[in-house]
Amino acid sequence: MDKTYDPQAIEQRTYARWEALGCFAPAGDGPAYCIVIPPPNVTGTLHMGHAFQDTVMDALTRYHRMLGDAALWQPGTDHAGIATQMVVERQLNGEGLTRHDLGRERFVERVWQWKEQSGGTIARQLKRLGASVDWSRDRFTMDEGLSRAVTEAFVRLYDEGLIYRGKRLVNWDPVLKTALSDLEVLSEEEEGRLWCFRYPLADGSGHLVVATTRPETMLGDTAVAVHPEDERYRHLVGRTIRLPLADREIPIVADEYVDPAFGSGCVKVTPAHDFNDWEIGERHRLPVINILDADARLNDAVPGAYRGLDRFEARKRVVADFEALGLLEKVEPHKLMVPRGDRSHTVVEPWLTDQWYVRIAPLAAPAIAAVEDGRIRFVPENWDRTYFEWMRNIRDWCISRQLWWGHRIPAWYGPDDAVYVGRSEAEVRARHGLGPDVPLSQDEDVLDTWFSSALWPFSTLGWPDRTPELARFYPTSVLVTGFDIIFFWVARMIMMGLKFMDDVPFREVYVHGLIRDHDGQKMSKSKGNVIDPLDIVDGIGLEQLVAKRTTGLMQPHLAAGIEKATRRQFPAGIAAYGTDALRFSFAAMATQSRDLRFDLGRVEGYRNFCNKLWNAARYVMIATEQDPGEGPAELSLADRWIRARLDAATRAVRDGFAGYRLDLAAQAAYEFTWYEFCDWYLELSKAVLQSPEAGDAARRGTRRTLLGTLEALLRLLHPLMPFITEEIWCRVAPRAGMAGATIMQAPFPAAAGEAEAAVLDEMRWVMDFILGVRQIRGEMDIAPSVRFDVLLQDAGPEDLARVARNAGCLERLANVVRPRALAADESPPPAAAALLGGMKILVPMAGLIDVAAETARLGKRRTRLQQELARAEAKLGNASFVQNAPAAVVEQEQGRVAQFKRELEQLAAQLERLASLG
RNA sequence: GGGCGCGUAGCUCAGCGGUAGAGCACUUCCUUGACAUGGAAGGGGUCACAGGUUCGAUCCCUGUCGCGCCCACCA
């Protein structure tokens, strides 16, 4: 093995070997375990959030595969309607074209081309991350099978009356010129204004004042509303307003919606351009005047002067005209929530159109019940509150989009606007007895991307066919997802799964936090803080990183700032840390927190961990080169101890996986590997293997423990660090007596029985002995190379027995010559002291140690002990504590007091001796 | 206006009704045959604040302050 861990050298070839071995497909007769990947955008690239999430899913999958489950991690990608269409449109714009220049058919062809060209990126990235997805089952939301599922679902829902077509207000994106669902509209508070207009009464007897944040909509006003109880206006209800500019007469109506305390207590009503006003309009049967075109310019329903104006132009014009007429009462600054499209970021307009909707309440009810009764469990569980909150107030889902890229709605229009829904035009004709002469045209619109995503857990397994995979793997085991798409995706999958499969789509939903940058900022291109996960794996130079971050910006003026920040943060670019270090970092970050701050320092730390593991393995391989052959083995104290500690670590790692606490699993594995296996056991093993006195039985015991522990440790770590563990395992396993072509197919370690208390006790004593001596060495600045004498004062028989049994270890790890017990009448030389139980470990000063320094050191310890003692005594002095606390706790406290007292006595004696020397 | 979350070492975060933990950073010593991507030792925290429950609270409850996220139709 090379001296230094080199991820580049080992990661490249391993994945291909796994694929060749066919390790990724579910195997065996074990229980089914299935995760469906949240499909990334087919034309996108994996960002840190994906890499994190994929690491979690791969770790879970590998873990369950090693447990013997038939584990399937179902891969696939999403066509991502709007996002993908926008990318291709932008490409066209670069060529001076629009999609309309190409026409629908050629445009869609072009998108497919782009998909073919860039669609392999995700797969390549996943492979670099070590993702053990079953590539033979790879799916795409627009592939033939999934498209069939989409059509089937649509038709069935329509036939049941759960999908309908309706003319009503939708969120209209005037830039993308499509309807959006409520979820795709993001409202943010912005600084705006509140304009107060005077609306003259038609009879000339005065005016009412109405306030608005969108003056241009007044051209579509069809009423003014007041509260029915409002004394100020009661007498005006039923009378009319002469609407300025539009020169129409509109009624004054009374409606409970109006808040008399806000503004003047009068509200202008524009049913065609405001969701609330629409409802008021319905209640009062008001006319609906649509004043906007698809691109939010004023249409012919407004007076000539305003026609063709953009909505914001029109706003200025309307305000100016009101002012000119002396009808502008006042303008004040006003904060308001502005709805914007999540893709275009343009202000969304409520607009009256024909759209397709899913009647959601009947689907939501069973989906709520499934979580209420525990058939689906959120982890952490408080996310169910968020889920319930949304599901109980859910509104019908607008699923039609005026795009070209997506699943075409399976509806056909005949003469007289008759609507036919079916799986194909042929089926429609057959079902409705329409001859070939009847002209039919298919709906131009496509479905919301999330409609196909909602079917993902069963469509990928073959639905609507009843495939063996569907029977075996549905319901899937767990959904791993970020909380940002609970509504978009999780809730809808639950509804559709229950609807079409009559069962939940997954039993658990593991909701993880979102990856943010070091400062807690969301990673985004425009912030310039994006890190490509593969750049951490492979490394990247500073210039390349700067280039990557500053090209293709939507707002090029940000480039300079991004470059500066990047140069400051990564003066040397990013080093190549390898996949395993990155994965282990992700696992360690996977706390229950919502915001997961990504810190490269941590990756470096875990790269070092990989190196540590690598070198530990190197040592084990070198140390076990010599085979003492078959024969009885004898386990040393250290051998027994490390086996017990491995069991404890195994339990902790298993618990971590079971509770979706990969951070705790990673921590347990890390601490065992470094602090127990490497820091202690490997050193202790040297005391046996490098001792001329050790017999073959002892050598066998240590050799087998070294190999066995390392081999099991590799399996313990494998789900988190697949590459390095595979690489080492292939060398270690044969020597450890494990057969198999790959660690992927080896069983996950199981914890054996309870550890023997005597082993743990004695090992604790050995460690404390060594630590006591090391502390003197460290604080007295004695070089590690200096080997000194150690004397034992007041050693009991058990102490002496332990010294005898563990002499080799003590000498080696504390770097002392064989400890010698002082005779009863022998007076100790000037020495530094460490306490171990009733015994004093003395390090004779002999020119090594300064009296003053040792006095100071012991004095500090005494102070600390005195504080502890005082606290413990106060506790025991409290009668109600002794009375009420559990006996074990009281006993423990009493033990501590006794211990402190004894140590203080020893310290006092020692300090006295030192004083007499001074 | 509702819902949720967070405030623990300089930084990033675990933890937990009974001696405050880790990584990184920091100080000192050390190239000892696995590893300087390392080893040994060390410094550093009234666990945001105030009440309450309890024998005992960093942990449970209430409130306050600060920070964040999500949902929501006030013109």
Stretch A112-117: mean pLDDT, rounded?
A: 91
The amino acid that residue A678 corresponds to is C
Closest-approach nucleotide to residue A778, Cα vs C1': B41
CA A864, C1' B43: Å apart? 15
Helix A722-735 and helix A579-589, axial crossing angle in degrees, nearest 10: 110
pLDDT of residue A246: 87
Mean pLDDT of A383-390: 91
Measured CA A197 to C1' B16 distance, in angstroms: 62
Instruction: Report the pLDDT value the prediction gives residue A662, as an integer from 0 to 100.
Output: 94
Our measurement of CA A337 to C1' B74, in angstroms, reads 11
Q: What is the mean pLDDT of residues A74-96?
A: 92
Length A764 CA → B37 C1' (Å): 30
| pLDDT per residue as tens digits for the range A293-343 | 999 999 999 999 999 999 999 999 999 999 999 999 999 988 888 999 988
pLDDT-based confidence at residue A477 (cuts at 50, 70, 90): very high
The whole-number Å distance from A872's CA to B19's C1' is 10
pLDDT tier for residue A3 given thresholds of 50, 70 and 90: confident
- Residue A527: which pLDDT band, with cuts at 50, 70 and 90? confident
Distance from residue A63 (CA) to nucleotide B12 (C1'), in Å? Answer: 27
Q: What confidence score (pLDDT) does residue A918 get?
A: 64
Task: Name the percent of chain A lying above pLDDT 90.
Answer: 72
Amino acid at A482: G
Nearest nucleotide by C1' from A679 CA? B39
Residue A775 CB coordination number (10 Å): 14
Give φ, ψ of A470 to 5 degrees.
-65, -40
Lowest mean pLDDT among A30-34, A682-686, A872-876: A872-876
**Closest nucleotide to A619: CA versus each C1':** B34
| Distance CA A785 to C1' B38 in A | 16
Q: Which nucleotide lies nearest residue A189, CA to C1'?
A: B72
Q: Which nucleotides of B are covered by protein (CB under 7 A)?
A: 2-6, 12-15, 18-19, 22-25, 28-43, 54-56, 68-75
The predicted model gives A806-812 an average pLDDT of 92
* Nearest-CA residue relative to C1' of B69: A594
pLDDT attached to residue A53: 95
State the nucleotide closest to A268 in CA–C1' terms: B75
CA of A801 and C1' of B71: distance in angstroms? 69
Distance A50 CA to B49 C1' (A): 39
Q: Report the range of poorest mean pLDDT among A554-563, A639-648, A700-709.
A: A554-563
Could you list the beta-strand ranges (E) of A54-148. 70-74, 76-77, 139-140
Structure tokens given for A366:
């069973």
- Mean pLDDT to the nearest integer, A163-183: 93
Cα distances from A110 to residues A85, A127, A675, in angstroms, run 10, 27, 57
CA of A274 to C1' of B75 (A): 10
Q: Which DSSP category does A739 fall into?
A: -
Average pLDDT over every residue of A275-282: 92
DSSP H helices in A129-220: 144-159
Q: What is the pLDDT of residue A824?
A: 85
Question: Å from A74 (CA) to B37 (C1')?
Answer: 36
Return the closest nucleotide (C1') to the Cα of A518.
B12
Q: What's the rounded Cα separation, in Å, for the pair A147 and A137?
A: 16
- Dihedral angle at the C-alpha atoms of A297, A301, A305, A308, nearest 10 degrees? 20
Smallest CA–C1' separation from A594, nucleotide: B5
State which of A433-437, A564-568, A710-714 shows the largest mean pLDDT.
A710-714
Nucleotide nearest to A782 (CA to C1'): B29
- Average pLDDT, rounded, for chain A: 92
For residues A85 and A111, the answer to whether their CB atoms sit within 8 Å is yes
3-state helix, strand, coil in chain A (%, to 5): 50, 20, 35
Residue A623 has pLDDT above 80, yes or no: yes
Beta bridge partners of A408: A446
Q: Looking at residue A782, what is its pLDDT?
A: 86
Q: For the segment A342-355, what is each residue's pLDDT rounded down to a tens digit?
A: 888 899 999 999 99
Helix axes A797-805, A807-814, angle to 10 degrees: 80
What is the distance, to the nearest Å, from the Cα of residue A18 to the centroid of all Cα atoms in its chain? 26
The pLDDT confidence band at residue A465, using thresholds 50, 70 and 90, is very high
What residue spans of A129-235 are helical by DSSP H? Answer: 144-159
Report CA(A716)–C1'(B19) in Å, whole number: 31
Among A234, A228, A227, A222, CA closest to A268: A222
Q: Are A755 and A707 in contact (CB under 8 A)?
A: no
User: Is 90 exceeded by the pLDDT of residue A151?
Assistant: yes
A1 confidence band (pLDDT: 50, 70, 90): confident
Question: Which residue places its CA closest to the C1' of nucleotide B18?
Answer: A889
| HSE value, Cβ hemisphere, 13 Å, CA-based, for A398 | 22
Whether residue A39 has pLDDT greater than 70 = yes
C1’ B56 / CA A758, Å: 32
Q: What is the mean pLDDT of residues A486-506?
A: 96
Give nearest nucleotide to A227 (CA–C1').
Answer: B75
pLDDT at A635: 94
N residues, chain A = 918
Residue A848, pLDDT above cutoff 80: no
Question: Of all nucleotides in the shown strands, which has a C1' nearest the CA of A690?
Answer: B33
Question: Which range is least confidently modeled, A69-78, A190-199, A706-715?
Answer: A190-199
> Per-residue pLDDT for A870 more than 90?
no
Q: Encode burial over A103-140: b for 16+ CB neighbours within 10 A, e otherwise.
A: eeeebbebbeebbeebbebbeebbbbbbbbbbeebbbb
> In Å, how far are A190, A367, A494, A901 from A502, measured between CA atoms?
45, 11, 10, 69
What whole-number distance in Å separates Cα of residue A555 and Cα of residue A358? 37
Question: What spatial distance separates the first Cα and last Cα of chain A, rounded to whole Å?
Answer: 55
